[in-house]
Amino acid sequence: MLHKSDVTESLARFIVSTRWEDIPAPVRHQARRSLMNFFAVALAGCRTSPVEIALRSLSEFTDSRQATVVGRPERVDVLSAAFLNAASANVHDYCDTHLRTVIHPTAPVAPAVLALAEWRRLSGHELLLAFILGNEIQARIGLAISPSHYNRGWHITSTCGVFGAAAGAGKLAALDERQMVWALGNAATQSAGLCECLGTPAKSLSVGNAARNGLWSALLAEKGFDGPPEPLAGRQGFYNALAEAPDLSLVTDGLGESWEIMATSYKPYPCGFVIHPVLDCVLDWRRDHPAAEVARTVVRGNPLLAVRTDRPDISTGRESQVSVQHAVAAALVTGKAGIEEFTDASVNDPKVRALRGKVTVERDEAFSTIAAAVEITTADGKVHRLSQAAARGSDVNPLDDTGLEEKLRTSAAAWDAGFDATSLISAVWALDRDADVPALMSLAVPR
């Protein structure tokens, strides 16, 4: 039976004792898929205003050039790199999701382990092992308190992400069990982040901090900065302060037998998930047809589609992420549904605006939230019927490796010819072979 005083120690023991050989091949592969997705979303987010401002501010306090900022020519210190890359990855809500907790798992963990591994010139499989363990620890800690913790206003990616970053960085730093408990304690007392900030740059602050502070937690523990023996389940610890009635068995039962990273979903499009099956249909059709000939589009889906996204009149890129009319119109015009299709510019494009007015939404209880049907009527009066039973990126139809590569290529295309997506993609797939992390990161910036 699990005693309350065993929680942190059990996690620490698991992190310290798990070896690369203990990780099943599908888990290793999923970790590389998560990193592929990470580079895609970080490339998509690295030139947004929250990242620009944070970089400008941090640069006033250090001119260290230890680590890469994904997608940017600037180099910064290790802690700032962790912050900035986490902010980039999460800023568009385009990153991966652990559905049972709603944690976006890679945004806090990958930047922490990448920055440390780049700095210390570690190997790809050391990186992957640390990343997998960090991912597991944050998911486990979050499972015990889901969904009440998030519902209360806690931004769970941030509050649990700091543990994932600490665990991953602690593994890379080869902490012993005692130090790992300290690292998790240092993380616990830095756990923060409020859902009230969603939709504003302030959100990026807690996500960035989760990576930065988790990493720092491990580095401090490495230097002997100690803490309490049971920061998670102790009387005045994390679970007492930030949760109601946590189920602690979910934290430790079956550790090492199942892997939460296998339950990660990757989004193909940077917009509300209920719109995704609609976009699958529209993009499929658009591959073989010009936009100009569309006279009318009728979209049918689960009532939630209309409730959340029946929004024909919008004026900003942010609103466009929850407008099915816009998503359909922009996809018809450009044949794509990437970051560029959900910007202010796209919203104000006269061609997109004209098509938005020709999209109507119908409710149908017969559809699940991952299904949709689309009827496109062309100028010649012809009606094209399309349907999607399970959206790409949903748990029953996960984005495949090619889909993840495409997602990365689409993000990288924003640099015109300045980015070598092919080499970065190869380096991510090769991570468990001979690649080292500095080499990988050198490919994550424009030429």
> For 77-125, where are the E strands, in sequence order?
97-98
- Counting contacts by CB under 8 A, is residue 226 touching a second copy? yes
List Cβ neighbours of 284 (8 Å cut-off, separation of 6 or more): 386
Task: Give the span between the Cα atoms of 152 and 171, in whole angstroms.
Answer: 31
User: From the list 101, 157, 209, 323, which residue makes contact with a second copy (rule: CB under 8 A)?
Assistant: 209
Q: Is 69 within 8 Å of 46 (Cβ atoms)? A: yes
- Counting contacts by CB under 8 A, is residue 223 touching a second copy? yes
Task: Give the span between the Cα atoms of 407 and 261, in whole angstroms.
Answer: 19
- Counting contacts by CB under 8 A, is residue 147 touching a second copy? no
Q: Which stretch binds a second copy (CB under 8 A): 182-190, 281-289, 294-302, 352-360?
A: 182-190
User: From the list 38, 39, 182, 342, which residue makes contact with a second copy (rule: CB under 8 A)?
Assistant: 182
Give the nearer residue to a second copy in terms of CB position, either 178 or 363: 178
Residue found by looking up tokens 């409020």 in the block: 194
- Counting contacts by CB under 8 A, is residue 5 touching a second copy? no
Minimum separation from the CB atom of position 47 to a second copy (A): 15
Q: Is 423 within 8 Å of 443 (Cβ atoms)? A: yes
Minimum separation from the CB atom of position 285 to a second copy (A): 39
Q: 65: how many CB neighbours lie within 10 A of its CB?
A: 11
> For 215-335, where are the E strands, in sequence order?
264-265, 294-301
In this structure, what DSSP letter does residue 420 have?
-
261-320 binders of a second copy (CB under 8 A): none
Give the angle 28-31-36 at the CA atoms, nearest 5°: 130
- Counting contacts by CB under 8 A, is residue 61 touching a second copy? yes
Q: Is 165 within 8 Å of 151 (Cβ atoms)? A: no
- Counting contacts by CB under 8 A, is residue 228 touching a second copy? yes
Task: Give the span between the Cα atoms of 103 and 96, in whole angstroms.
Answer: 8
User: From the list 19, 235, 287, 433, which residue makes contact with a second copy (rule: CB under 8 A)?
Assistant: 235
Q: Is the dihedral of CA 248, 253, 256, 261 positive or negative?
A: negative
196 burial via Cβ count (<10 Å: 0-12, 13-18, 19+): exposed
Q: 303: how many CB neighbours lie within 10 A of its CB?
A: 15
Q: Which stretch binds a second copy (CB under 8 A): 37-45, 191-199, 305-313, 389-397?
A: 191-199
Task: Give the span between the Cα atoms of 358 and 328, in whole angstroms.
Answer: 10
User: From the list 2, 99, 202, 262, which residue makes contact with a second copy (rule: CB under 8 A)?
Assistant: 202
Task: Give the span between the Cα atoms of 347 and 358, in whole angstroms.
Answer: 15
Q: 380: how many CB neighbours lie within 10 A of its CB?
A: 7
Minimum separation from the CB atom of position 168 to a second copy (A): 18
- Counting contacts by CB under 8 A, is residue 53 touching a second copy? yes
User: From the list 77, 93, 280, 432, which residue makes contact with a second copy (rule: CB under 8 A)?
Assistant: 77
Q: Which stretch binds a second copy (CB under 8 A): 22-30, 165-173, 180-188, 317-325?
A: 180-188
Minimum separation from the CB atom of position 269 to a second copy (A): 25
Give the nearer residue to a second copy in terms of CB position, either 193 or 301: 193
3-state secondary structure 116-139: HHHHCCCEHHHHHHHHHHHHHHHH
Give the nearer residue to a second copy in terms of CB position, either 198 or 292: 198
- Counting contacts by CB under 8 A, is residue 102 touching a second copy? no
List the x/- string, 149-178, binding to a second copy by CB under 8 A.
---xxxx--x--------------------
Minimum separation from the CB atom of position 323 to a second copy (A): 21
Give the nearer residue to a second copy in terms of CB position, either 125 or 149: 149
User: From the list 29, 123, 178, 194, which residue makes contact with a second copy (rule: CB under 8 A)?
Assistant: 194
Q: Which residues make up the interface to a second copy (CB under 8 A)? A: 49-50, 53-54, 56-57, 60-64, 66, 77-80, 152-155, 158, 182, 185-186, 188-203, 205-206, 209, 213, 216-217, 219-220, 223-228, 230-231, 234-238, 240-242
